[in-house]
Amino acid sequence: MTTYKEDAAHAGAGKLTLAEILEIFTSGDALPLKFTAYDGSSTGPQDAQLGLDLKTPRGTTYLATAPGDLGLARAYVSGDLEPLGVHPGDPYDLLRALTDKLDFKRPPARLLANIVRSIGFEHLRPIAPPPQEALPRWRRIAEGLRHSKTRDADAIHHHYDVSNTFYEWVLGPSMTYTCACYPEADATLEEAQENKYRLVFEKLKLQPGDRLLDVGCGWGSMVRYAARHGVKAVGVTLSKEQAAWAKKAIADEGLSHLAEVRHGDYRDVRESGFDAVSSIGLTEHIGVHNYPSYFRFLKSKMRTGALLLNHCITRPDNRAGATAGGFIDRYVFPDGELTGSGRIITEAQDVGLEVVHEENLRHHYAMTLRDWCANLVEHWDEAVAEVGLPTAKVWGLYMAGSRLGFETNVVQLHQILAVKLDNHGGDGGLPLRPWWSA
């Protein structure tokens, strides 16, 4: 095992190995993980169960030219950085260990020059990223206004039109790509997703004969749940693949007389007077600055006394910037933005909706992601054959990393329930206390 002791002699020493460079960035602390590199160097316990193997010089270029999660993702997706001790469909244990046990620090200035010389100046020139990566933000801005209908459609296509078959393997029979709600800690994923739709349905106080608008409806699971209970439901999604799958599922269940899913932008819905509106996992895509027009539009679709349920990922505070990190923005949710639940409540209130309830399902989303990763591991070979190894790796990394984020309160999931009042503050006669079961 190579070790590196920081002292004055090393400042002018010869070429450093990649393992020594890693030790410098971790302040020379004993590494709890194993690290090996193509130059033959290694550090950390040789019998460690978890670790990383830097396999190629191209991986060094990715790490050097895009420090942080984006460089790591590029090297990993391209196959230049391999995880040790975890399945690529669920690298959660390695990510948790990296987060809990490694503290990366900028090395002293006197060592940086030697690090650069040791890496080689040729590795400081950026190279093309893996083809799975979306265009950088500046290029997307040049090619279309952020959150215009065209650019939103492109962003949704990047994320959701991967493959319906792939999503069936990862999400399971419910085809639900949003946070479940676990009635018990040992409930199955399908039980938890069914329970989530039951919770939304009851919060919206829906009854047979009512009309529901579900914006950003995905594969139409909420629409079909409502239709099974006698509600006439309209869903809208920007994903062509989702809409096609949902329409077939509606027909197969014999629900066409009650359920409809449209391929289009929610802003193109012409009908109004709905008894309820559900937005489950859409708000993350519309842009924080568009919240006023978003809530104003949803309110315009509601009859007086109608309820709105907004279910979305949030930040744990209202101070952090809305833009996602490099990996999420370039590989998962181009143009995605998050803010705190307080900002969402404020915007809903400012258009005249009365917020009557909110709750945080943060831990439920961590459990949902755990179960999605388990599904991906179970169907790994089929998933790789369907979408390719790099894309499958992106999804394993994204879901395992997101699970860690929810567990450590980097992100949260909030359901916010609001009502459209009449001109005199009337709410249509809602009960004094919550009317749904937990």
Q: What's the pLDDT at 151?
A: 46
pLDDT digits (tens, 9 = 90+) for 244-253: 999 999 999 9
Q: What's the pLDDT at 159?
A: 46
Whether 376 maps to a domain, the answer reads: yes
5-19, 74-88, 295-309: which has the minimum mean pLDDT?
5-19
Mean pLDDT of 189-203: 98
Domain stops at, among 74, 109, 124: 124
98 and 183 belong to one structural domain: no
pLDDT band at 320 (very low <50, low <70, confident <90, very high): confident
Q: What's the pLDDT at 210?
A: 98
Q: What's the pLDDT at 162?
A: 78
Mean pLDDT of 137-142: 54
pLDDT(421) > 80: yes
Q: What CATH number is associated with residue 280?
A: 3.40.50.150
Q: What's the pLDDT at 154?
A: 53
187 and 314 belong to one structural domain: yes
Interatomic CA distance for residues 75 and 261, integer angstroms: 39
6-10, 21-25, 246-250: which has the minimum mean pLDDT?
6-10
Interatomic CA distance for residues 424 and 288, integer angstroms: 30
pLDDT(240) > 70: yes
Q: What's the pLDDT at 143?
A: 54
Q: What's the pLDDT at 160?
A: 52
Q: What's the pLDDT at 144?
A: 54
101 and 154 belong to one structural domain: no
Q: What's the pLDDT at 394?
A: 94
More reliable by pLDDT, 92 or 100: 92
pLDDT band at 23 (very low <50, low <70, confident <90, very high): confident
Domain total in the chain: 2
Q: What's the pLDDT at 31?
A: 67
106 and 192 belong to one structural domain: no
Domain that holds residue 72: 9-124
66 and 166 belong to one structural domain: no
Q: What's the pLDDT at 148?
A: 52
pLDDT(142) > 80: no
pLDDT band at 108 (very low <50, low <70, confident <90, very high): confident
Domain stops at, among 124, 157, 176: 124
Torsion angle of C-alpha atoms 19, 23, 26, 30, degrees rounded to 10: 110
> Radius of gyration (Cα) for the chain, nearest Å?
24
Q: What's the pLDDT at 135?
A: 77
Interatomic CA distance for residues 250 and 404, integer angstroms: 35
100-104, 150-154, 358-362: which has the minimum mean pLDDT?
150-154
Q: What's the pLDDT at 392?
A: 96
Mean pLDDT of 203-223: 98
178 and 230 belong to one structural domain: yes
Mean pLDDT, the chain, integer: 90
Interatomic CA distance for residues 13 and 413, integer angstroms: 50
User: Are the C-beta atoms of 409 and 342 separated by less than 8 Å?
Assistant: no
187 and 52 belong to one structural domain: no
pLDDT digits (tens, 9 = 90+) for 59-77: 999 999 987 889 999 999 9
pLDDT(336) > 70: yes
Whether 234 maps to a domain, the answer reads: yes
Share of the chain above pLDDT 90, in %: 76
Whether 119 maps to a domain, the answer reads: yes
Beta bridge partners of 215: 236, 279
106 and 211 belong to one structural domain: no
Whether 438 maps to a domain, the answer reads: no
List Cα–Cα distances, 166 to 105, 222, 376, 381, in angstroms.
39, 20, 9, 11
165-169, 326-330, 348-352: which has the minimum mean pLDDT?
326-330
Q: Which of 2, 130, 214 is nearest to 389 (CA)?
A: 130
pLDDT(254) > 50: yes
pLDDT(213) > 90: yes
Whether 133 maps to a domain, the answer reads: no
157 and 19 belong to one structural domain: no
Interatomic CA distance for residues 120 and 125, integer angstroms: 10
274 and 361 belong to one structural domain: yes
User: Are the C-beta atoms of 283 and 258 separated by less than 8 Å?
Assistant: no
117 and 182 belong to one structural domain: no
Mean pLDDT of 399-408: 96
Q: What's the pLDDT at 134?
A: 84
Whether 397 maps to a domain, the answer reads: yes
pLDDT band at 110 (very low <50, low <70, confident <90, very high): confident
pLDDT band at 145 (very low <50, low <70, confident <90, very high): low
Beta bridge partners of 313: 413
Q: What is the pTM of this model?
A: 0.90
Interatomic CA distance for residues 128 and 136, integer angstroms: 12
Whether 130 maps to a domain, the answer reads: no
Share of the chain above pLDDT 70, in %: 90
382 and 238 belong to one structural domain: yes
Whether 139 maps to a domain, the answer reads: no
